[in-house]
Structure 1
Amino acid sequence: MNNSGTRLPAFHGTGVALVTPFTADLAVDYAGWRRLLDFCIEGGVEYLVVNGTTGESPTTTTDERAELLRVAKEQVAGRVPLVYGIGSNDTAAAADLFRTTDLTGIAAVLSASPAYNKPTQAGLLAHYQRLADASPVPVILYNVPGRTASNISAETTLRLAQHPNIIGIKEASGNMEQCLNIAASKPADFLLLSGDDMLTPALIACGAEGVISVLANAFPQRFSDMTRAALASDFAAARTGLFQLLPLNPLMYEESNPVGVKAALESLGVCGAAVRLPLLEATNGLKERIRRVL
């Protein structure tokens, strides 16, 4: 059960795991950041995620992350809820970030499971309990074993769902049986959110409340329309929207995330395609294929 004892409808629908725009010399492009925020809001998404892994959080500095959050609060001005990404494979360091980050005006924190350490399920349980105890705002778990090398099992998720400050999970395991086990046994006010764009309608059909999306950076209206159709049980319309996006999805990840979606945003004139090392900007071949599909 969350802090209010009820579901949080703000997180039903489409959230966007925002990219962080950079200039050609790899400084943060705050003008592009403001354009991206407006582009997504005007496209109809329900909420925005700042400083997630799609935002290249491993290669932004503490000062940059603070400024990105400040500008986001200013530009969004309460039009949609903001979620902020905080995570680390050092539990104590992550807990300190929860205590020291100014989370005023933030609706929730999205926290990816620890990467590289490969903790046991008991370790993951203790990690998230420690973070949830430290957090002044509700926590959304983020399970992405393809990046972290460890999976939060359905059993562990359901145990964490009993914590009063853990309100949901972004599930990006791609394991439908695991997602179904969560959907079947979760508390009514615990949010199951798709972390895989292409599985969103299917997961909603089985009880998910929405998605935190990469594609919605570049296609906020199409993606949020598709998600709302699925939430309204109009799965014919949701399938149509999904199949329109299907050719784009593999291009987004071919050279790693967020390389592809930044190339799409460049083609749409929202912000540049630059990324920071160890990522490389999309190759000309990938950019051309994205332009053709667009």
Structure 2
Amino acid sequence: MTNTVSAPAPFGRALCAMITPFTATGTLDLDGAQRLAARLVGLGCDGLVLSGTTGESPTTSDTEKAELIAAVREAVGDRASVVAGVGTFDTRHTVELARSAEKAGADGVLVVSPYYSRPPQDALEAHFLEVADASGLPVMLYDIPGRTGTRIEPETVLRLAGHPRIVAVKDCSYDFLGIQKVLARTELAYYAGCDEHNLALYAVGGAGYVSTVANVVPAELRAVLDAFEAGDTPVSARLQQRATPLIELMMAAGLPGAVTAKALLDALGLPAGPVRAPLRPAGREATEGLLAAYESLTAG
């Protein structure tokens, strides 16, 4: 017996929040980005989210962002969706990035709440609507109040759902009740933005995930969704549980996901390179712990 998944998934179900590879000297590594993107898609990713939190978007230039989109689009063709992170604390700049992403070949845009200024809900709503009106691309809202300082409240999301181009939410709110309230009243596609919620959100009608951990174990995370869709909930739960130690080390052990993902990718000989300041690379002990957890997960 299969589990019928009826939730809309406009960008696919298994999405990776891809790191931005840099060369040893810190410049944008477009060849590495293409190789990594092709690998991720080949191992089960339906979509790639570029220039998000894990992609170190605050430290890449507008030109680099556009070049990255074009390079990844060329590498994956129509085998996967390409979603571009365009969110900033400036509505005008966000609009410019959305238009640039459309020209560069993106399939959609990820728009985070404006950070630092902490706009009230009416201003937040106006910001998202202006960005959605600025291009022809579908929009994925990014709710991550732990980083931005501002929650996109469920009532605000319900109003925004009326816009024809606002189609999805990447959720890092840790408000599971609020998510389900919106799911019950809209057709929005909800993507887990915290890897520990991948299966739980999917099971209540979510679209899938946008995963940092997928940079290193794309097939293992995709297997969780595949098992659930096949109707084998116990297997999907076991697969999610097996991934938990690596998820914890990568996402909840004190280092940002960009740092831990790049440390592991470098250790595995895959495109990554350094992080840009103010981030700093993972130390030897942290990297060894990550590698041990990775090997434990992929050995079985």
Both structures adopt the same fold (TM-score exceeding 0.5): yes
Contact 1:209-1:231 at 8 Å conserved across structures = no
Contact 1:145-1:151 at 8 Å conserved across structures = yes
SS at match of 1:71: helix
Q: CA deviation digits over 1:56-77, x for unaligned, max 9?
A: 0110112221221121111112
Counterpart mapping for 1:191-210 below 5 A: 191-210=189-208
Counterpart mapping for 1:9-158 below 5 A: 9-103=9-103, 105-158=105-158
SS at match of 1:15: strand
Contact 1:252-1:261 at 8 Å conserved across structures = yes
For 1:92, the aligned partner's letter is R
Task: Find the aligned partners of 1:152 and 1:98 in 2 and give their Cα distance.
Answer: 20
Percentage of matched positions with identical amino acids = 36
CA distance 1:273–1:260, shift in 2 (3 Å): farther
SS at match of 2:73: helix
Q: CA deviation digits over 1:13-52, x for unaligned, max 9?
A: 1111100111222112223212211110111111111211
Contact 1:95-1:134 at 8 Å conserved across structures = yes
Task: Find the aligned partners of 1:100 and 1:42 in 2 and give their Cα distance.
Answer: 27
Q: What CA RMSD, in Å, does the superposition of the two structures yield over aligned residues?
A: 1.8
Contact 2:9-2:189 at 8 Å conserved across structures = no
Aligned residue number for residue 284 of structure 2: 284
TM-score w.r.t. structure 1 length?
0.92
Task: Find the aligned partners of 2:194 and 2:229 in 1 and give their Cα distance.
Answer: 16
Q: Shift of the alpha carbon at 1:8?
A: 5.5
CA distance 1:8–1:178, shift in 2 (3 Å): closer
Q: CA deviation digits over 1:69-113, x for unaligned, max 9?
A: 121111112221111111111112212322344435422111111
Q: Shift of the alpha carbon at 1:267?
A: 2.2
SS at match of 1:28: coil
Contact 1:98-1:134 at 8 Å conserved across structures = yes
Task: Find the aligned partners of 2:103 and 2:232 in 1 and give their Cα distance.
Answer: 36
SS at match of 1:141: strand
Q: Which runs of 5+ in 1 are unaligned?
A: 1-5
Contact 1:10-1:47 at 8 Å conserved across structures = no
Contact 1:99-1:134 at 8 Å conserved across structures = yes
Contact 1:108-1:140 at 8 Å conserved across structures = yes
Aligned residue number for residue 298 of structure 2: none
CA distance 1:28–1:97, shift in 2 (3 Å): closer
SS at match of 1:54: coil
Task: Find the aligned partners of 1:98 and 1:256 in 2 and give their Cα distance.
Answer: 25
Counterpart mapping for 1:207-286 below 5 A: 207-253=205-251, 254-286=254-286
Contact 1:13-1:231 at 8 Å conserved across structures = no
Aligned residue number for residue 3 of structure 1: none
Contact 1:13-1:228 at 8 Å conserved across structures = no
Q: Give the count of matched residue pairs.
A: 287
For 1:236, the aligned partner's letter is P
Aligned residue number for residue 293 of structure 1: 293
Q: Shift of the alpha carbon at 1:10?
A: 4.6
For 2:191, the aligned partner's letter is L
Contact 2:108-2:139 at 8 Å conserved across structures = yes
CA distance 1:284–1:155, shift in 2 (3 Å): same
CA distance 1:100–1:46, shift in 2 (3 Å): closer
Q: Which runs of 5+ in 2 are unaligned?
A: 1-5, 295-300
